[in-house]
Structure 1
Amino acid sequence: MATILFVSDGYVGDVKIFMGSVAYLYQINRSPGGLPKLPVPEAWITFKGMDGDRHRNRALHGGPDRALCLFSFEVLEALQQEGHTVHPGASGENFTLAGLNWTQLKPGDHLKIGEEVQIKLTSYCEPCRHNAQWFVNGDFSRISHRQYPGWSRLYARVLFEGRVRQGDGVWVVTSPNRNMK
């Protein structure tokens, strides 16, 4: 198990990497506003989010604690197996991540993406009616954390800015106080 140093909210400490680089950035998605977000090969990530990405409803999306939206490639595949047409970028996520145990991720966890970017997961992202088009009978609650824990998107705050590229490694780092069974 490797150890790296992190700085967050004025605290400096050691964190443990509990997943290796088997996880990766499957797809980077952005749009001028609305759904779906479309794939791009690389993007510059700032404290405000992804350069070139916009939101229709700024009251519900964006801001420091919702700078990025993340979703799991494996969850998308499972939803497709259920007959839903949701696909990478369709539900508005900026990063579609592969190779992570999505049900283990929680607000407060830190992820390192590529060589430069580090983020902190801040909250689960509740779906809105604009996602109905991707779900059988319009039931977009299928990606609601309240109804289906472990199947929702996550919001994140950017801790370290930088460039990300499709295929970049993703490492989950966490506080040494977190029990990772």
Structure 2
Amino acid sequence: MPHHPILYQINVSLGGVPKRSVPTAWVSCNGLVGDAQRNHVLHGGPDRAVCVFSLELIQALQSEGHEITPGATGENLTIAGLQWNALRPGCHLHIGETVHLELTAYCDPCRKNARWFRNGDYRRISQQVHPGWSRLYARVLREGYVHQGDCVRLFMPGSDSHVIC
């Protein structure tokens, strides 16, 4: 785990999974430029503009025998070094120099992710089934560029100070 939380990987695709890694991206209120979703009913929109997930959870899932990799489940930002089970809707993430996200909801896993999981058990990353193991959606409060390796700061609801986990 890094000494401070960092943006480990940035992931985009023109629709579907896995998303591919890019070194930098512009984060707009509609999501990452160069990223798209095929199903606009279930994905995207201002409250689901960005999807985030934990590198440490991906590594733990790999150790359980799942063939998951960063970007495989459709997250846009893979973050290393955060105590993931402390995150919840309402938390804010500041990434790099300018990007400011507010976590809005846990992401329900999609059956299209079944191929990354032993026995097709894509619900392994369901907040309802395995609390603390879910991806999260975020709205963009401040647009800007993100770069792999950027510092990530977590702000808890009702707190003016950031928490380094």
Report the TM-score when normalising by structure 1.
Answer: 0.85
By how many angstroms is 1:56 displaced?
Answer: 1.5
Give the AA of the match of 2:113.
Answer: N
Residues matched between the structures, number: 159
Give the AA of the match of 1:107.
Answer: P
**Considering only aligned residues, what root-mean-square deviation do their CA atoms show, in Å?**
1.3
By how many angstroms is 1:177 displaced?
Answer: 5.6
Aligned runs of 1:5-20 on 2, under 5 Å? none
Match of 2:145 in 1: 163
After superposing on structure 2, the runs of 4+ consecutive aligned residues of structure 1 that deviate more than 6 Å are none
Give the AA of the match of 1:37.
Answer: K
| 1:96 paired to 2:81 | no
Match of 1:56 in 2: 38
1:122 to 84, 96, 104: 104
In terms of fraction of residues, the more strand-rich structure is 1
2:59 to 71, 74, 77: 77
Q: In 1, distance between residues paired with 2:11 and 2:53?
A: 11
Match of 1:153 in 2: 135
Match of 1:40 in 2: 22
Percent of matched pairs sharing the same residue: 58
Give the AA of the match of 1:39.
Answer: S
Gaps of 5+ in 1: 1-20
Gaps of 5+ in 2: none
Q: In 2, distance between residues paired with 1:168 and 1:103?
A: 21
